[in-house]
Structure 1
């Protein structure tokens, strides 16, 4: 039996060779006040790239103005390309690769902030039901966004199929109660996600020059009654594998619309200072105990059934967790909060070798989540200069 790979060894991701198997997960940077790249955003990603990452992921590059979570989010358009090219060049100069997470926020979009209607499978006071033409436009917008990502020098495109964003909302039996070709059976509910992936794959194949990978971030479970279950998600993942449009899937969980803490685990942010927590978020910040590799149990089910590369996310903060992921057959690990706290953590872990004495300072209180309304940073180590 082959021994598991060293997490710091090079690895193939589709056409790419990453210098190691560690990816920075997409986390909202709060660094684009004009919906365009800033030096602040570049430094946000350059620091962990210099700190030893294989690849960093730029969060929430919206495929359309109405697809933004709120108006300050970058949306993919010609005006964004020069700044994005500066960003990708800066990360490449540090020896790392860079991925563009493209997304339509769907029901998670802030319609008032964006100045346009939010779209969802069904009508609600905060969003309206997407028509067949709307769905076609969103699918095409993902393809166009992928083209802009290629033009901007990104090495990979990550399609957001999680957290009850547009594609994930259609997958949800709770949020999608349509009776047309996009609702009802899982076959119908998965139609949007599968179509988006195929549209992006066609653009990458036609314009990517054989150098761009395509991944997706997929919910294993929503963590809400009536939402996406592991069983249905595994079937969707199987179809995505059979469709052949993806080079890897990053496994995630939780609903940004209803239950975000199912994804993060640990303390509920702002609980000690209620005034810091926006009223819209106060009722959905439940607490779930944190433990290392907290999504592993569900992820094992996907690893057992799928042959394609998988990225393990959730509670990866030290070498033991990384080695466990490799031993369990995962191809990559993704990190978020630990790298926000210490961008140089990976270089220190690697230098530590087999001693395993380096541990993250992250305490998983999640108070860093409150900083997304100003400038995302770790509250323990402080905002970078």
Structure 2
């Protein structure tokens, strides 16, 4: 039998030929004069994984509005003019033999920040190309600048922006879309009782706090073909003091509601709404969360977080903790991870033609 890592998985109408997928990784590499437009860097970055044997690649978060970018250097898909640059990436990834999906996001109160590798940190001032962020309320994230509270009309336009971005993703040729509702960004902010203190229909109990996310799910699902998978990334917990069990219960319920509305895979991560949380980081530290969500829903679930070795990834799948493993930093270190994994697990994996001469080096 083939290793689980290399067995196909069908998600709605898409058959993916393996189960180690490229997780979204922000590159902060758009040019300031062309906000949101992906560049040659993104083309090289994403295609490197296709050459290395990735079955499915998820792009970094593509902002659905200009003010929804995490930083001034982030990718976007909020206007039609940005589609052509994405089409170029999608076309080359497809020609190289991989599938590719786009993550749709809005940073909310965590927008307009410096890139992690910038010499400065925190919020980017308006004078330097930043903007005022928005959120469920006016409370900032840590030391970031104060956001402006979104009104009901703006919430409606945000839902519409996700739908319009999904339609552009279809035009660009993407194979799947993922809604980013994790890591303390806008949709995760609305879900969290630590952040969302609204008293209108978008706050209060879990049903109210989940309203915006579920409206986004409806808008995205209605904007893509029926065969196209819609994925959802959630933070299982924000690692607040004494909150982990309650957060996980909330995540399970939100996952159930999302699946009822047409989500086809739950991508389980954690963290983002609590500044400087104490997280017990270690190999596979989030897979237990994925396993609990998997028990509660009837769609595939992915796990992410310090999954680096082929035997470790195979074990996560074999033990039923998840149906898919998402990987990031290990793939930056080795974009040919899949070929090395195939060799380790004794599975033949074809190389892209111009790279086939490298195969003997793994023997």
Question: Does the 8 Å contact 1:218/1:253 carry over to 2?
Answer: yes
Please say if 1:119 is aligned against 2:134.
Answer: yes
Cα offset for 1:296? 1.5
Q: Is structure 2 residue 24 aligned with structure 1 residue 36?
A: no
Tell me, yes or no, if the aligned pair for 2:27 and 2:74 is still in contact at 8 Å.
no
1:147 to 163, 167, 170: 167
Q: Residue 359 of structure 1 corresponds to which residue in structure 2?
A: none
- Equivalent residue for 2:256? 238
What is the aligned partner in structure 2 of residue 73 from structure 1?
74
Aligned to 2:116: none
Q: CA deviation at 1:258?
A: 3.5
Once the two structures are superposed, residues 224-261 of structure 1 have per-residue CA deviations (whole angstroms, 9 ceiling, x without a partner) of 24877111111111111222x21101001010x544xx
1:218 aligned to 2:234? yes
Aligned twin of 1:89: 91
Answer yes or no: is 1:251 the counterpart of 2:268. Answer: yes
Rounded to whole Å, the distance in 1 between the matches of 2:22 and 2:220 is 22
2:104 to 87, 102, 105: 102
Greater Cα shift, 295-304 or 58-67? 295-304
Q: Residues 188-203 of structure 1 correspond to what in structure 2 (within 5 A)?
A: 188-203=208-223
- Decide whether the 8 Å contact of 2:102 with 2:176 is kept in 1: yes
| Structure-1 residue corresponding to 2:46 | 45
Q: SS at 1:304's partner residue?
A: helix
The aligned runs of 1:262-277 (5 Å cut-off) are none
Asked if the contact 1:4–1:327 (Cα under 8 Å) also holds between the matched residues in 2, the reply is: no
Aligned mates of 1:339, 1:142 — CA distance in 2: 29
Q: Could you tell me which residue of structure 2 aligns to residue 380 of structure 1?
A: none
CA shift for structure 1 position 146 = 0.5
Cα-to-partner distance string for 1:291-326 (whole Å, 9 max, x where unaligned): 221102222211222221101111211122222221
Tell me which of 313, 323, 348 is aligned to 1:331.
Answer: 323
Deviations along 1:317-338, one digit per CA (max 9) or x if unpaired, are: 1122222221233221100000
Give 3-state SS (helix, strand or coil) of 2:61's partner. Answer: strand
Give 1:309's aligned residue.
300
Q: Distance between the aligned counterparts of 1:241 and 1:51, measured in 2?
A: 32
**Counterpart in the other structure of 2:120:** none
- Change in CA separation of 1:187 and 1:163 when aligned onto 2, cut-off 3 Å: same
Unaligned runs of at least 5 residues, structure 1: 260-283, 356-385
TM-score (norm: length of structure 2): 0.84
Instruction: Give the C-alpha shift of residue 74 in structure 1.
Output: 2.1
196, 199, 202: which one pairs with 1:176?
196
Question: Tell me, what secondary structure is at the counterpart of 2:48?
Answer: helix
Mean alpha-carbon deviation: is it higher for 227-236 or for 68-77?
Answer: 227-236
113-122 or 123-132, larger mean C-alpha shift: 113-122
Q: Offset of 1:31 from its aligned partner?
A: 2.4
Aligned partners of 1:101 and 1:339: how far apart in 2?
A: 18
Q: Which residue in the other structure is 1:23 paired with?
A: 21
| Distance in 2 separating the partners of 1:115 and 1:6 | 45
3-state SS of 1:176 partner: coil
Are 1:63 and 2:80 matched, yes or no? no
CA distance, structure 2, for counterparts of residue 92 and residue 211 of structure 1 = 18
- Shift of residue 115, structure 1, vs aligned partner: 4.5
- The residue that corresponds to 1:374 in the other structure is none
Checking the alignment, whether the CA contact within 8 Å between 1:300 and 1:328 is kept in structure 2 is: no
C-alpha distance in 1, partners of 2:65/2:315? 39
CA contact (8 A) 2:28 2:75 kept: no
In structure 2, C-alpha distance between the alignment counterparts of 1:112 and 1:173, rounded to whole Å? 28
Moved more, 25-34 or 157-166: 25-34
CA positional deviation for 1:287: 6.4
Q: 1:196 to 1:96 in 2, by over 3 A?
A: same
- Where in structure 1 do 4 or more consecutive aligned residues deviate above 6 Å? none
Aligned-residue CA RMSD (Å):
2.0
In the alignment, structure 2 segments of 5+ residues that lack a partner are 113-123, 140-144, 348-363
